[in-house]
Structure 1
Amino acid sequence: MSIAQTIRERRSIRAFNRTPVPQDLVLQLLNDAVWAPNHGLREPWRFIYVGSAEGREKLAALTLEASAHLKRVKLLPSKLKEVMRKKLAEIPANLIVVMTEDKNEHKRDEDFAAVCCLMQNMQLLGWEQKLGMIWSTVDFIRSLVFRSGLGVREGERIVGILHMGFFDKIPKPKTRTPAEAKLVVW
């Protein structure tokens, strides 16, 4: 499969089957993904992998605790919160991508861009292996409860969570605006 074909065919996957995601596969993909361009070869990333049943349960509970203040969660009946917790715990694997935040704003922006490149690399590499992912940047990842629960240190930020798993159905593609419509030529 060509790179262009992989880019065009990759989809965000929200529905995973129950096939476990081997940790060694995730590590293999990460070892290729870290070849993302990064200024000064600072490699401003680190990763938290959650793949065991116990880890997924802890992450689901932490997610609900960290999002409890959100109006859309606070108003949910307890039965729906339990359904939500169970659904979160059923995601076969999660990769939390953490970035070191440089004090220099310019370097921080460069590092953020590099981490985003790494995350896209990860999604494309996973797609080649029939491993689906969705990149989550929900607001609670910035909460102190969530950060401290995961061991994210001061001077670091969570860029996103890659929820991942194998899948049975590929979503239909959505149209994209042609580049010509957004291109300005001087």
Structure 2
Amino acid sequence: MKSKTMTVAEIVRSRRTVKKYNDKTVNENDIIEILNDAVWAPNHHLNEPWRFLLFQEEGRNKVADAFLSTYGDAEIPTGAQNKANYFRNVPAALLVVMPDSEDNHQFTEDICAVSALIQNFQLLAWEKELGVLWKTGKFMHNPLFKEKAGVREDERVVGLLLIGYFDEAPTAKPRTDAREKLTIYK
């Protein structure tokens, strides 16, 4: 996977979304180091519209319980129980949040910046042979999830990054040639 002479293009093309992790512990300092590089993402006026919540070891129960809380008093489906167990067993989970904004322009700038940061994080993690799954879903917008996970009322969750070492990288899936989605005006 990794070579000392990999180009940026090679790293981008080799990165995979990893869903199956081994039991090797992810060092908190490695995540902090990756974040300190990832924050060099472009962001308008350098407002750095991001905040992070890291769940490791017993802390993973907090994010799993927050996810399950979105079902309220309803019976929790087996699939949701399985997802919560998955959250409890990943080596590390990182919630990436940003300020919520009613201003469409500000929201667009912030979501783009945070998404660029997340992509930086994924590429930098891959360089360290760490796999990342960028998880999104309706649960992220649920006030109960946000409250139980430690997200402030004035924030929105952009993604839950599941992080860990892996034994085998998933196989690449083909991509559509950009020319098929490109319109050129001259």
Deviations 1:3-45 (A, max 9, x none): 0000000000000001111110000000000000000111000
Q: TM-score, normalised by structure 2?
A: 0.90
Partner of 1:129: 128
TM-score, structure 1 normalization? 0.90
- Is 1:18 equivalent to 2:23 in the alignment? yes
* Alpha-carbon distance, 1:88 to partner: 2.1
The reply on whether 1:56 has 2:68 as its aligned counterpart is no
Range moving further from structure 2, 149-158 or 137-146: 149-158
Listed as ranges, the gaps of 5+ residues in structure 1 are none
Equivalence for 1:8: 13
Structure 2: gaps spanning 5 or more residues: 1-5
The alignment's C-alpha RMSD in Å is 1.7
Give 1:59's aligned amino acid: V
Q: Percent identity?
A: 41
Matched, 1:45 2:50: yes
Distance 1:75 1:102 in 2: 33
Aligned 8 A contact 2:61 2:88 in 1: yes
Work out whether residues 146 and 153 of structure 2, in 8 Å CA contact, stay in contact via their aligned partners in 1. Answer: no
Q: What residue identity is the alignment partner of 1:29?
A: I
Q: Which 4+ residue blocks in structure 1 deviate beyond 6 angstroms?
A: none
- Per the TM alignment, residue 81 of structure 1 is displaced from its structure 2 partner at its CA by 5.7
Give the SS at the match of 1:58: helix
What secondary structure does 2:29 align onto?
helix
Q: Pick from 32, 35, 55: which aligns with 1:30?
A: 35
- The number of residue pairs the alignment matches comes to 179
1:83–1:155: structure 2 CA closer, same or farther, 3 Å change rule? Answer: closer
What displacement does 1:56 show?
Answer: 0.9
Question: Are 2:12 and 2:123, in contact at CA under 8 Å, matched by a contact in 1?
Answer: yes
Matches within 5 A, 1:1-186: 1-51=6-56, 53-66=57-70, 68=71, 74-76=76-78, 83-186=82-185
